[in-house]
Structure 1
Amino acid sequence: MKKIITITTMLLLGLVAFTSCEKEEEKPTGNGEGEILSFSFSGITGATSSIDKESREVYVFVPAGTSLVALVPQITLSEGATVAPVSGATQNFSSPVNYVVKTSKGEYVTWVVYVLVGAANDVVIVNSNITTNTTWLSTNSYIVEGTVYVDADLVIQPGTWIRFKPDAELVVGQNQNGSLLAEGNPTQKIHFTAFDVNATPGNWAGLRFETSNKSSVSSLKYCIVELAVVGVNVYNTWLKIDNCLIQKIQTKGIDMSNYNHTASAPDITANEIKDCGDHTIITNSNSVHFIDPNNKLTSTTKGVEIVNNYSLASATWKKLSVPYFVNDYVRVNGSLTMEAGSVYKFSSSGAIEFGGNNNTTVIAEGTPTNPITFTSAATSPTAGNWIGLYFGDKTQPNTAMRYCIVEYAGKDNASIIVEGSSIAMTNCTIRNGNNYGIDLAYSGLVGQFVAFTNNIISNIASHPINIYAEAIYTLGINNAITAGTGFGIRVDNDHSATNFQNRTWEKQIVPFYMEEGLYVYGSLTIKGGNTFLFNRQGLFFTVGTYSGGIVSTLKLEGTASDPIKFSSAAASPVAGNWSGILFLGSASACSMSYTTVEYGGYDSYYLGNVSIENSAVTMNNCNIKNSSHYGIYTIDGGSFNGSGNTFSGNVLGNTFNHVK
C-alpha cells in the first residue's frame, strides 16, 4: 500500500474527470520543478487534498452534495512553473482533469486531478496483497488497483470509503485463510465503489470470497457496493450479508451459485439489491433458503436465479419480492417447503426434479389469494416454453401441491411427471401445456395421487392426464378437466392386467382413452358420468378369469342423468371398432346400470358388445347398440337378467346364447 501526502485545503468531496492540453509531454529534470504544491477550490471550505508526487496525481475530497460541474481551482506551483488550464479557470470535475505544468526550463509534466466525494485525511493506494492483519481507517480513503488478495484478517471501520480502479477487485481467502470484516452502521456506511464518478456498472470487478475465507469472521453489514461487474461473489464458502445496499451492478448483485453452508438460518438478510443487469441474486438450490424475505429485491425482468445442486437438507424456499428463475435442470433431494405466493419462472431448459436420487418430501402449499406459480420466463409465453416439474420415485407420499399454478410447460413430455411415486394435488391449475398435462405412466413406473380433487386442467395440447389403469382410482372428484377433440384421460397400455382391491373410479368429465384392453381382477366400481373410448379393434374390457380364477366384481353405477358409456375412439365410429365388455367365469355379482355399450363385437369368438361366459350379470336400463355381431352374447352357461334395457343396430341380433 502506498500512502499519499495529505494537505488540508478549503474544498468539497467528490469524484472528477476532464481532459485538456494536447501538448506533447516531456520528462522533468527531477529537481523538484514542475510540481503542484497545493490544490484547492474557491468558495469551498472543509475539503482536503492529497498530492502524490511520484505518480503526479492530485486527490481532492469534497463534502457530499457538492456539484462538480463548475469548480474554480486555486493552484500553487513550484518556482517558475506555469500550468494549463490556468489557476482560477472554471472546470468540470465530473471526470479526471489533466493539468500540464511547464517548468522554468520549458519542460512539460502532466498531472491528473481527481475530485472525490467523501472526507479523508489520507489517500491510501492499495496495489499489493494483504498478508498481515490490517485495519482500514475511516479517516483514510482507500483506492484499490488491480486484484488484491486478502490473505489475513482485514477490518474496515464504519464510514470508510474504498474506491476501485477499473477491473480492480478484493479477493478474500484465495491463497490462504483470510477474512473481511466490514461492518458499518446506519449512519456510517462502508462504501465499495468505482474510483471514477462517471463510471458505469461493471467498471470494477467486485468483492470475491473464496474457499479459504474465514466464514465465521467475514461479514458485510451496512455496506454500499456499486458499479461492479458482480457485487459480491461467494465461492465454496459463506458469509453474513446484512443491511447492505447493492446497486448499479453490471450482472448479478450476489453470486451464490457455489455457496457452501450447512446452517438453517438465513445469511442474506435485510439488504436492498437493485439496478442489476442480470439477476439480483444467483444461488444453487442448496442455498436458496439462506435468502430471507426481508431483503428488498427490485427488478423489472429478473429476480433470483436457482442453479443446479444435487442435495438439499430440510429447507424452506421463501416468498421473495421478485420471482425465482430456473434456467436449467435443478434437482432437489431432501425436505422442501415452498411458500405461498412464490413465483418460479423457467427458461426453455428449465425444470425442477424432486426426489430423483434421495427420499424427498415437497410441500408446495399456496392459498386461494396467494397461489404458487410455476410459469414461463418468456415475454410472450406459449405452450411448451419450459420442461416441467418431475416427481421421481424417491418422492414421499406426504408430498403435496395445493393452490399451485403450472402453465406453459410440457416441452418434452408433460407439464408434471409423477414417476413411481404418490403425491397429493388439490385446488391446482395446470394450463396452456404442450404434450400431456400430467403424466403418471412415465417410463413404466406407476405414479398416482394420494388426493386429486378440485383441480383445473385446461388448454393442453395432448391428453390432460396419462395414467395406468391401476392408478385411476386415485383421481378424485370435482376436477374441471377440459380437452381438445380426441383427447381426455389416456390409459396407458402397460399394466393392463390389474388386481383391483375394492377400487372406485370417480366421475371425470373427459373421456378415458383406452390404448389397450383391460383385465379387471378383484373388485371395481365405476361411478356414473364416465366414458371409455377404445382405440382399436381387438380390445376387451375383461372382468375375471376363467372358472376357478380370481373372483372379480365389476359394478357400473350409471344413472339416468349420469350414464356410463363404452364406445369407439374413432372420429366416425362404425360397428366392430373394438371388441366389447367380457365377463369370464370368475366374475361374480357383476352389475350394469344406465350403461351404453356401442360399436363393439369385433372378436371372432366372443361375438357381443357384451359377452358373458359361465357367469351372470345384472343389467338394468342399459343401451346396447351397433355391434358388428350381437348386442349380448352368452356362452357356456353365461346369463344376464334385469329390465329396461334397449337394443339397436346390432348386425346379427340383439342377444344370442351359444351352447357348446
Structure 2
Amino acid sequence: MHAPVPVKNMIRLYLSICFLCFFMSTAPVLSTAAATTVNGVLTGDRTWTKDGSPYIVTGTVTVYNGTLTIEPGVIVQFNASRSLQIGTTSGSARLVAQGTPEDPITFTGNNDWGQLSFGANTAEGTILEHCIIEKNGYNNYPLVYVFSSNVTIKNCTFRNTPNSGLAIGSGVPALEANTYTGIGGYPISITQARSISAVDNTSTFDESNTNNLIYYAGGHIDQDTSIADAGIPYYCAGSFGVFYGAVLSIAPGAEIQFAANQSLLLGNYTSPGKLVAQGSETDPITFTGNNDWGWLYFGKNTAEGTILEHCIIEKNGYNNYPLVYVFSSNVTIKNCTFRNTPNSGLAIGSGVPALEANTYTGIGGYPISITQARSISAVDNTSTFDESNTNNLIYYAGGHIDQDTSIADAGIPYYCAGSFGVFYGAVLSIAPGAEIQFAANQRSVTLLNKG
C-alpha cells in the first residue's frame, strides 16, 4: 500500500498542469509548411503566398507575359548568383510586391545573390512597397536595377550590401521615402542623363553608407529634367550638357560635386538649352569639387531665362578654367558666391550677363575677367569683392567699342590689359567713382571717327 501523497505536493502538481495548459493555449502556432523552391521562366499570373514562404530561388527567375504578385510577409531567399528578372525578355511582365509596415516583403540571401532587375518590358503598375532588399554581393550587382521602366519603389529599405543599392539606366522610376543603409557602393547610381529626375527628396541615406553620394555618369540632357535636393550630394563622374530646347531645373539645397576635369555645359550645341538654378538664402545650390573640376559654361545657344540665383560655385582648378564662363549669352547671375579657386571667378566673352549682388572671395585669378569690349557693361555696382582675392581687379582685355557701353563703379579698379577705342557713333559712359588702371604701353580711351 502506497503512502498518501502530501497535500502540498498535490497542489504543486495541479498548478504545474494549469500553467502548462495556459502556455499551450497562448503560444504562437508555428507553420509547418515547407519552403517553396522556384526557378526558371514563370508565365501567366502567379502569386507567392505567405503560407508558401520562404521561397528559395534556386535558379534565376524570369517573369514572362504575366504578373507575379507577392503577399505581405513573404521571404524570398536567393541562392548564390541568382536573381529575379521582370520585363527583361520580349514578353510584358509585372511585379506587385506590396508589403505592409508590420509585414514587409524580404528579398535576401547569403551575401552572394544577384539582383532584382526591371527591363524595358516591365509593365505599368509594377511596384515595390514596404520591401526589404538586402545581402546580395554577386558580380558588383546593385540590389535593384531599373534598366528602362517607370517602376514605383516606395517605403522600401535597401541595406547591407558591398555593392550599390539602386541602379538606374534610362528609366525614371517613381521613388518615395526609401531608406538606404549599410551600402558599400553608392546608394543610388545613375547612368543615363535624364534619369536623374527620378531621385526624390523624401528618402533617407544613413551615415553607415560607405559612399554617401548619388552617382551620376553625366551625358546629354535632351528633355526637361529636374535635380532634387536629395539630402546628400550628387557626384558627377562625367560632364553633362543641356540642349534640344530642354530645361534643367535644380532645386534649392541641391549639391553637385564634379569629378576631375568635368563640367556643366549650356548652349554649346546647335540647339538651345536652359538652366534654372534658383536656390534660396537659406538653401543655396552648390557646384563644387575637389579643386580639379572644370566650369559652368554658357555658350551662344543658352536659352533666355537661364539663371543662377543663390548659388555657390567653388573649388575648381582644371586647366585655368574660371568657375563660370559666359561665352555669349545674357544669363542672369545674382546673389551667388564665387569662391576658393586658383583661377578666375567669372569670365565673360561677348555676352552681357545680368549681374547683381554677387560675392567673390578666395579668388586666385581675377574675380571678373572680360575679353570682349562691350561686355564690360555687364559689371554691376552691387557686388562684393573680398580682400582675400589675390588680384582684386576686374580684368579687361580692351578692344573696339562699337555699341553704347557703360562702366560702373564696381568698388574695385578695372585693369585694362589693352587699349580700347569708341567708334561707329557709340557712347561710352563711365560712372562716378570708377577707377581704370592701364597696363604698360596701353593708351587711354581713343575716340575714332570711323564709318
Q: TM-score range by the shorter chain?
A: 0.7 to 0.9
Asked if 2 retains the 8 angstrom alpha-carbon contact of 1:137 and 1:156, the reply is yes
SS where residue 186 of structure 2 aligns?
coil
Give 1:235 deviation, angstroms.
Answer: 1.0
**Does residue 316 in structure 1 map to residue 239 in structure 2?**
no
Instruction: Name which of 30, 38, 58 aligns with 1:145.
Output: 58
Which residue of structure 2 lines up, in the alignment, with residue 164 of structure 1? 78
Which residue does the alignment assign to 2:411? 509
1:371 counterpart (252, 272, 284): 284
Instruction: Tell me, in whole angstroms, the C-alpha distance in 1 between the residues paired with 2:228 and 2:346.
Output: 26
Q: CA RMSD, aligned part only?
A: 2.3
Cα 1:485/1:528, change in 2 over 3 Å: farther
CA distance in structure 2 between the aligned counterparts of 1:179 and 1:477, rounded to whole angstroms: 60
What does 1:469-488 correspond to in 2, within 5 Å? Answer: 469-482=373-386, 484=389, 488=393
CA distance in 1, matches of 2:347, 2:148: 37
Residue 484 of structure 1 deviates from its aligned partner by 5.0
Give the secondary-structure state (helix, strand or coil) at the position aligned to 1:507: coil
Q: Letter of the aligned partner of 2:235 in structure 1?
A: F
Q: Partner residue of 1:421?
A: 329
Q: Which residue of the partner structure matches residue 18 of structure 2? A: none
Aligned to 1:281: 188
Structure 1 contact 366–402 (Cα < 8 Å) conserved: yes
Q: CA separation in 1, counterparts of 2:279 and 2:443? A: 43
The question of 1:406 aligning with 2:313 is answered yes
Q: Secondary structure at the match of 1:364?
A: strand
> Match for residue 251 of structure 2?
339
SS in 2 for 1:448: coil
Identify the residue that residue 394 of structure 2 maps to in structure 1.
Answer: 489
Shift of 1:473: 0.9
- For residues 362 and 373 of structure 2, the distance between their equivalents in structure 1, rounded to whole angstroms, comes to 24
1:471 to partner: Cα distance: 0.9
Aligned length: 407
**CA shift for structure 1 position 164:** 1.0
Q: Which residue of 1 aligns with 2:367?
A: 464
Which residues of 2 match residues 441-452 of structure 1 at below 5 A?
Answer: 441=349, 446-450=350-354, 452=355
Matched position secondary structure for 2:293: coil
Given candidates 79, 89, 92, the residue that maps to 1:175 is: 89
Aligned letter for 1:337?
S
**How far has the Cα of 1:355 moved from its partner?**
3.1
Correspondence list, 1:525-544, <5 A: 525-537=429-441, 539-544=442-447
Contiguous gaps of at least 5 residues in structure 2 = 1-26
- 2 CA distance for matches of 1:410 and 1:396? 27
Give the 3 Å change call, closer, same or farther, for CA 393–260 of structure 1 in structure 2: farther
Distance 2:391 2:338 in 1: 19
Aligned to 2:299: 392
User: Contact conserved, 1:285 with 1:332, CA < 8 A, in 2?
Assistant: no
* Structure number with higher relative contact order (C-alpha < 8 Å, ≥ 6 residues apart): 2
Out of 202, 205, 208, the residue aligned to residue 117 of structure 2 is 208
Match of 2:39 in 1: 127
Check the 8 A contact 1:411/1:434 in 2, yes or no.
no
Deviations 1:498-554 (A, max 9, x none): 2132x32111233323232211131111123333333342x33343323xx46xxxx
Deviations 1:460-508 (A, max 9, x none): 2212222122111111112112475556222236xx212132x321112
Q: Does the 8 Å contact 1:126/1:144 carry over to 2?
A: yes
Q: 1:152 to 1:312 in 2, by over 3 A?
A: same
Shift of 1:220: 1.1
More strand by share: 1
Q: Secondary structure at the match of 1:128?
A: strand
Match in the other structure for 2:212 = 302
Residue in 1 that maps onto 2:239: 329
Residue matched to 1:241: 153
Hey, what's the Cα distance between the residues in 2 that align with 1:146 and 1:327? 35
Structure 1 contact 253–281 (Cα < 8 Å) conserved:
yes
Distance 1:137 1:349 in 2: 52
Residue pair 1:238, 1:259 contacting (<8 A) in 2 also: no
Q: Which runs of 4+ in 1 moved over 6 A?
A: none
- Residues 480, 404 of structure 1: CA spacing in aligned structure 2 closer, same or farther, 3 A cutoff? same
Alpha-carbon distance in 2 for matches of 1:387, 1:310 = 17
Unmatched 5+ residue regions in structure 1? 1-43, 50-120, 379-383, 551-660
Partner amino acid for 2:369?
N
- Percent identity between matched residues is 24
Structure 1 or 2: more helix by fraction:
2
Q: Which residue of 2 aligns with 1:651?
A: none
Instruction: Give the 3 Å change call, closer, same or farther, for CA 134–349 of structure 1 in structure 2.
Output: farther
Q: Is the 8 A contact 1:506 1:527 kept in 2?
A: yes
- Residues 225 and 248, structure 2, Cα contact 8 Å, conserved in 1: yes
* Letter paired with 2:329: S
Report 1:1-40 matches (<5 A). none
Quote the offset at 1:303 in angstroms.
Answer: 2.2
Q: Which has the larger radius of gyration?
A: 1
Distance 1:455 1:253 in 2: 39
**SS of the counterpart of 2:36?**
strand
In the other structure, the counterpart of 2:170 is 259
Q: Residue 287 of structure 1: SS of its match in structure 2?
A: helix
Q: Per-residue CA shift, 1:359-396, capped at 9, x if unaligned?
A: 222221122221111222x4xxxxx3321222222212
Provide the residue aligned with 2:108 in structure 1. 193
Tell whether the 8 Å contact from 2:98 to 2:130 is kept in structure 1 after alignment: yes
TM-score by length of 1: 0.58
Instruction: Supply the distance in 1 between the matched residues of 2:30 and 2:113 (Cα, whole angstroms).
Output: 26
What is the TM-score when the length of structure 2 is the normalising length?
0.83
Q: Decide whether aligned partners of structure 1 residues 170 and 479 sit closer, same or farther in structure 2, where only a CA change above 3 A counts.
A: same
Change (3 A) 1:183 1:356: farther
